[in-house]
Amino acid sequence: MPIPTNTQTTYPTIGNREDLADEIYRIDPTDTPFVNGIENETATFTNHEWQLQPLAAFGANAQFEGDAMTATAFTPSVRRGNILQISWKVPEVSETQQAMDHAGTGNEFDYQKMLKGLELKRDLEFVVTGANTAKNAGAVGTARLLASTLSWIKTNTSFGATGANPAAADGTGTRTDGTQRAFAEPLLKTVLQSIWTSGGKPDVIMTGAFNKQVFSTFTGRAMPTEDTRAKKITASVTAYDSDFGLLDIVPDRFIRARDVFIYQMNMWAMAYLKGRKFAVTPLAKVADADWAKVVCEYTLTARNEAASGGVFDLTTS
């Protein structure tokens, strides 16, 4: 049926208000399981240091009755340190944009500061778990760098042919990637045994998406289970009951897909310089706009890397 003559429609009309939902939707991941899962400390200098205390080797220790005693050999502590790295984001919004009637936000500048804080948190997770970085004290024109977990974990590892651990477990070297191989349960068991022998009590396994699905096929979960009454199939594993304790299985989007970490979480910490933990500082106006700095000055504390470990050089597809 044709439209009657002179009927006004929406097509030529210019006075209709736009229909824009008063919500803003985002799905970009902001969960940071490692940074959220470890303790926080306060740093007071750009080189944050701590001590490890080894024990003397154990032995039979049989003594003569009535014998004269001598002092047992002193076992000194070991000093370790990591460099504080600076990371920031700088939102800037023009005053004209601030004066607009915004959909989905009240104050556009506050909204942008919140978004930059989330982005900065993602950067921190990547810096400490996904980057293969040695520490660098920095200089004029050179940014300070912290040593990531990949530069600390040395004692308890499994890696592919041509791969290598850092030369020392002190954050001064990086991991050498080797030939990739499929993730398999025997690799994990070997590292767990090594951690236990070293004295560690790991409680979390972190992995990327592909090897999280591989993990779900390990012994005892080779086939999915089906609950016909609930009309539900369970094909995932969220915990691993090993010979050396129960460990949570946590996927992490920010680690390298080729790495699987086994952590004793209380043996790691994030150290923030006082007043520099996600601090928001307004910046002096230099234009017709508002801007600010969202900053962190921080480092990773590897309290004792021998309590953790890793299975490295894994296939990712």
Question: Is the pLDDT score of 222 beyond 80?
Answer: no
**Residue type at position 60:** A
DSSP 179-240: --B---HHHHHHHHHHHHHHT----EEEE-HHHHHHHTTSTT-SS-EEETTTTEEE----EE
DSSP 66-105: TPPP-PPPP---EEEEEE-EEEEE--EEEHHHHHS--SS-
Long-range contacts of the stretch 213-218 (C-beta < 8 A, 24+):
214/182, 214/183, 215/183, 215/240, 215/249, 218/185, 218/188
Of residues 185, 87, 88, the one with CA closest to residue 133: 87
Q: What is the pLDDT of residue 21?
A: 67
d(CA 59, CA 62): 9
d(CA 282, CA 280): 7
pLDDT in tens, 182-199: 999 999 999 999 999 999
What is the three-class DSSP state of 19?
A: coil
For the record, the structure tokens of 48 come out as 């944050």
Question: Is the pLDDT score of 116 beyond 70?
Answer: yes
d(CA 251, CA 238): 9
pLDDT in tens, 129-166: 999 999 999 999 999 999 999 999 999 999 999 999 99
Q: What is the pLDDT of residue 230?
A: 61
pLDDT in tens, 301-316: 999 999 999 999 999 9
Q: Which residues contact 185 (CB under 8 A, 6 or more apart)?
A: 218, 219
Q: What is the pLDDT of residue 12?
A: 77
Q: What is the largest CA-CA distance in the chain?
A: 121
For the record, the structure tokens of 266 come out as 């209380």
Question: Is the pLDDT score of 87 beyond 70?
Answer: yes
pLDDT in tens, 18-36: 766 666 666 677 789 999 9
More reliable by pLDDT, 237 or 260? 260
The residue-averaged pLDDT of 80-92 equals: 96
d(CA 133, CA 219): 34
Q: What is the pLDDT of residue 98?
A: 82
d(CA 82, CA 170): 8
Percent of the chain residues topping a pLDDT of 70: 89
pLDDT in tens, 236-253: 788 999 999 999 999 999
DSSP conformation class of 303: S
Where are the domains positioned within the chain?
Answer: 33-51+77-172+181-311
**Residue type at position 219:** T
Confidence grade of residue 228 (pLDDT, cut at 50, 70, 90): low
For the record, the structure tokens of 108 come out as 């556009």
* Average predicted confidence (pLDDT) for the chain: 90
Q: Which of 22-26, 80-84, 167-171, 173-177 is the least confident region?
A: 22-26
Indicate the pTM of the whole model: 0.87
For the record, the structure tokens of 18 come out as 């736009």
Cβ neighbours around 291 below 10 Å, total: 18
Long-range contacts of the stretch 279-284 (C-beta < 8 A, 24+):
280/113, 280/117, 283/90
What are the angstrom distances between the C-alpha of 212 and each of 31, 184, 236, 265, 315? 16, 11, 9, 19, 12
Q: What is the pLDDT of residue 66?
A: 92
Q: Which DSSP helix (H) or strand (E) runs through 36? A: helix 33-37
